[in-house]
Amino acid sequence: MSLQDELTDVKRRLDDLTRTVERLERSLAPKRGNAPRTQPADRPRDLVTIPDTPYDSSLWTDSDDEGLGARDRHAP
């Protein structure tokens, strides 16, 4: 199968998917009625505030630098 054939097939399948989603949305619209819209899945419900104050340096005691290994050793 050539690249052009594959691209044509992908476009056809994407068009089919788009039509299917549109039909699904139309069929669900009457069932939803005046129900409140839900929050999008990619949006967090509870936000966590990260303070601007520096972290306690004792948190990093005996930790390795990620990807660099331990401070007192050399890479093999």
State the pLDDT at residue 15: 95
* pTM attached to this predicted model: 0.40
Q: First and final CA of the chain: distance in angstroms?
A: 47
| Per-residue model confidence as pLDDT tens for the chain (76 residues) | 899 999 999 999 999 999 999 999 888 877 766 555 555 556 667 888 888 888 888 887 776 666 666 666 666 5
Domain count for the chain, please give it. Answer: 1
Q: Do residues 70 and 64 make contact, with C-beta atoms less than 8 angstroms apart?
A: yes
Residues 6 or more apart whose CB falls under 8 angstroms from that of 65 comprise 71
Residue 22 lies in a domain: yes
State the pLDDT at residue 65: 61
State the pLDDT at residue 19: 95
Query: How far is the C-alpha of 8 from the C-alpha of 28, rounded, in Å?
Result: 30
- Joined together, the tokens standing for residue 51 give 């303070």
Beta-ladder partners of 19: none
Closest by CA position to 10, among listed 21, 1, 23: 1
Residue 64 lies in a domain: no
Domain that holds residue 29: 3-59
